[in-house]
Amino acid sequence: MRVGIIGGGISGVALALDLCRHAHLDVQLFESAPAFGEVGAGVSFGANAVRAIAGLGLAEPYGEVADRTPEPWQDIWFEWRRGSDAGYLGASVAAGVGQSSVHRADFLDVLASRLPAGVARFNKRAVSVEQQGPEACVRFTDGSEYRGDLLIAADGIKSAIRNHVLDGIGAEPAAPRFSGTCAYRGLIDSRQLRDAYRAAGIDEHLVDVPQMYLGLDGHILTFPVKQGRLINVVAFVSDRSSAEPTWPEDAPWVRETSQAEMLDAFAGWGAAARVLLECIPAPTCWALHDLAELPGYVHGRVALIGDAAHAMLPHQGAGAGQGLEDAYFLARLLGDPQATQDNLGELLAAYDALRRPRACLVQRTSFEAGELYELRDAAVGDDEQALGATLASRFDWLWNHDLDADVAEARARLGWQTRRTCA
């Protein structure tokens, strides 16, 4: 079976790595850039995503570059604090995992280095897709094309293939939508931050453990990357002046900005937050976009995964993890010798039926998490006792999801014999 993967981000490469281990699959991966590369710095993975990484056979390379909260706080995902004075509100605990994070580019590098020669092709930007019978054909800007039995679009929030799928199922086109939230980002040398906190009389515990500072229409998170040498900082601020915010079409989503602009956005916040931001001399500013929940991820022999299917806001640290769940689910099914061209349509129907509701719920609750952090949740508001209690258990359903049960359900739908997975 010829499988073409469009997009060389974390989800696409992870899927390709698993699929190319199987003799019955001929896998090609197409990346639009001249080489693999990720935009952004730290990315967080919940317990569910860590299990998917292990199930894809990637636990070892992930472990080479991943960070985790040091003992004795190793199970803490985030501590929650007031932005005004860093007062403690509570903590979210993920037993056995804690805050598992990695620098995006480092993770992609270790994955890509394991791809067999000849699987990846670069400078291949997809522009159109056509389907004729059991074959799908994707054309690239250089005039070349690829024909396969299955095309998997892992080409991100600006996917060139998404609307082919939506048009094929009779749905309206979908474009990225601006959330009204912008995020200032930067990396700080952990020793520098520790010295700055010590000089300001601020508890150095705030360096050691992932923190989330909450305030009205803003929140700031910190967690370590690069084996604790750097602290990843993301400071979110939301403009709620419009119910349907828009971003200028010609404006970049990411821009360099000044420290003064960032500090002005957080005027009135407490010392811990201010000293933290003062350690970032040249932040970047990101306009956060997501997608509406799609009515389908599959048309014929073309399927969407990752951000192409369900780009979401980062407020649950779940976006990359959902892409890895997609990859794990498809890898367990496509990698089975019982997967054939004859039952591929049923296989993809099971993917759509079982993965889409889960991913849509994670999209929806990622938005809702941002409302909670910024004291805009309709039920909780700025009630600190309710806020701490809610955050203590809010993510359990996300982290504890049984993805293998979904795979088993798909296999039952396909009428396949029971087969031990590689997880």
**Known catalytic residues?**
185
What are the distances in angstroms from CA 221 to CA 90, 164, 317?
Answer: 14, 37, 11
* Phi, psi for residue 145 in degrees, rounded to 5: -145, 165
CB contact set of 233 (below 8 Å; sequence gap of 6+): 184, 185, 186, 187, 188, 220, 221, 222, 276, 277, 280
DSSP-derived 3-state class of residue 152: strand
The tokens for 149 are: 């039995």
Q: Which residues contact 121 (CB under 8 A, 6 or more apart)?
A: 28, 29, 30, 31
CA 66 to chain centre: 15
Kindly provide the residue ranges of all beta strands, DSSP E only, lying in 203-349, ordered along the sequence.
Answer: 211-215, 218-225, 230-238, 254-256, 284-290, 298-299, 302-304
Distances (CA, A) of 247 to 175, 237, 239, 289: 12, 15, 12, 9
* 106 vs 41: CA distance, rounded Å: 9
Contact 11, 320 (CB under 8 A): yes
- The DSSP H or E segment spanning 225 is strand 218-225
What is the three-class DSSP state of 54? helix
In one letter, which amino acid is 98?
G
Token pair, residue 306, equals 């990752």
DSSP-derived secondary structure letter, 24: T
d(CA 80, CA 69): 15
